[in-house]
Structure 1
């Protein structure tokens, strides 16, 4: 997927992994846009359903992967919230910090990877789930609604 080319993702043990390696045997990518500050019942439901889905995917070896795209406001919030997730990947929070430092200190228009993803997919609120094929073709922008309505059965919908 072009969006991930040349990027690194953070795994659960806080190791940076080239995205190409992380997605090598994957066919579907779920971009999970969220933040620790989101305390609505909807946020909790989406996170729980996504954990169940990820666990079932691993059990069935269906080739699906989740990437957390943070809207957190601090590294501490990012770390705390990411610890509550399943064993999936995340766009490193440090990437956002580095980009912000560059943008404000040099007065450039450079945009962080998280912000690029939010812009590409038109994300204006959290939680949100965008499901894409590995080649970048969008399966659904209504992942949030579909996972709530269909539960684990969404695996069949997204992999057909």
Structure 2
């Protein structure tokens, strides 16, 4: 994933700006396709936030790819429900490119990817809901 987003600017709610290469290198990466207007998304995101906190000492990163209709919605959703994970800026063309590349046909969708962008699982959401954070992480890490 570091290669796919190598030169793409990524942000955090705390104001940090970085590139994919710097932030994602050697990490298990979860792409979160979600939106504030989506009730199932608003239900899942706080669960993912706790999962993310449990893995803060591990090489795990979430990248939020917004399906919101405005930057205001994206930022409100992040403030309300998200962890301090990375997000693709609202105006970035990468949002459409990632949605097409990973054939996102519904949300919320959590796709776990390898450093080259190939898919480990398209069903990360179910794994977050059914496994302990360490168990899920170790399973994903073993497939890198």
- What is the TM-score when the length of structure 2 is the normalising length? 0.87
Figure out how many residues of one structure are paired with residues of the other and give that number: 139
> Which structure 2 segments of 5+ residues have no match?
none
Contact 1:46/1:147 (CA < 8 Å) preserved in 2?
Answer: no
| SS of 2:91 mapped into structure 1 | helix
1:93 matched to which residue of 2? Answer: 90
Q: How does 1:114-133 map to 2 (within 5 A)?
A: 114-133=95-114
How far has the Cα of 1:51 moved from its partner? 0.9
Which structure has the bigger radius of gyration? 1
> Which structure 1 segments of 5+ residues have no match?
96-111
Q: Is residue 2:13 matched to residue 1:7?
A: no
1:103 matched to which residue of 2? Answer: none
Residues 155 and 45 from structure 1, CA distance in 2 versus in 1: closer, same or farther, beyond 3 angstroms? farther
- What is the TM-score when the length of structure 1 is the normalising length? 0.79
Cα RMSD after superposing both structures: 1.6
Q: Identify, as 1 or 2, the structure richer in helix.
A: 1
| SS of 2:49 mapped into structure 1 | helix
